[in-house]
Amino acid sequence: MIFAALLTGCAALPDTSPEQVALPYVHTFSANTASDNLPTGWRPWGVSRFKRPTEYRLIQEDGRTVVRARATASASGLIHPLDLDPSVYRLLHWHWKVDELIAKADNTQKHTEDSPVRLVISFDGDMEKLDFGDRMFFDQVKAFTGQQLPYATLMYIWENRAAKGTVIANRHSSRIKMVVAESGREKLGAWQEQTHDIYADFRRAFGEEPGRITAIGIMTDTDNTGENVHAYYGDITFKRVARPRSVVDSD
């Protein structure tokens, strides 16, 4: 069961290890120079040892440093540890560019669950609240990969057909949900700017309050469809939103 599940696309971030410094901000790609090195603050994220890794490289694009991803029947990503309160840092802002869609991709089906771009956010929470099926799945993933999955994972993807704003449930766990941030071919080939209220999106997807944000990742994957694709990621930031003043505070 777990072997099949991992090979058909469980793209949840692992819990960050204790030696990884969790920061209240994301290191920007644009602060780096073009090279084969990893961006500062980011590290490789392997989905499974049975999957070919996607290639990530820092390049110059329109006068700034961005990450270019090239996937060839592959799936892996980059992960950045964080420690953020999503009720305060609730606006997630980023740029991405996709030149071509993955023709066979359909994220509503587990055997074609690929996306040219993904932003993946992990959240802390009480593992005791997991139902039996999710707890068994988490235990199997840990036994098979040595990685502990986070309590909840929210992804933003570029889908072929599903409408923008659609929430797609992962086929393996109720603790992994995908939000369609962009869809279709209309905006291919040009940089797109995205801003999403992750606090509101989490509540809509999971029906509960989010715990602290523990990591963010990027992933371009074509392991299920076996296709080739390249895409680009610009800087990613969490923007602070002031808490509303309570009646007591306003007195």
- Our measurement of the distance from residue 164's CA atom to the centroid of its chain's CA atoms, rounded to an integer in Å, reads 16
CA distance 242 to 32: 30
Cβ contact 170:176 at 8 Å: yes
Cβ contact 26:238 at 8 Å: yes
Give, for 250, the enclosing helix (H) or strand (E). Answer: helix 247-250
Give per-residue pLDDT as tens, 223-233.
Answer: 999 999 999 99
The CATH classification number of 2-240 equals 2.60.120.260
Q: Which two tokens mark 180?
A: 């369609």
**pLDDT for residue 20 is more than 70:** no
Provide the pLDDT for residue 241. Answer: 86
Q: Confidence band (pLDDT; 50, 70, 90) for 11?
A: low
Q: Confidence band (pLDDT; 50, 70, 90) for 144?
A: confident
Give per-residue pLDDT as tens, 74-84.
Answer: 999 999 999 99
Provide the pLDDT for residue 247. Answer: 45
Provide the pLDDT for residue 146. Answer: 76
Provide the pLDDT for residue 110. Answer: 83
What is the residue-averaged pLDDT of the chain?
89
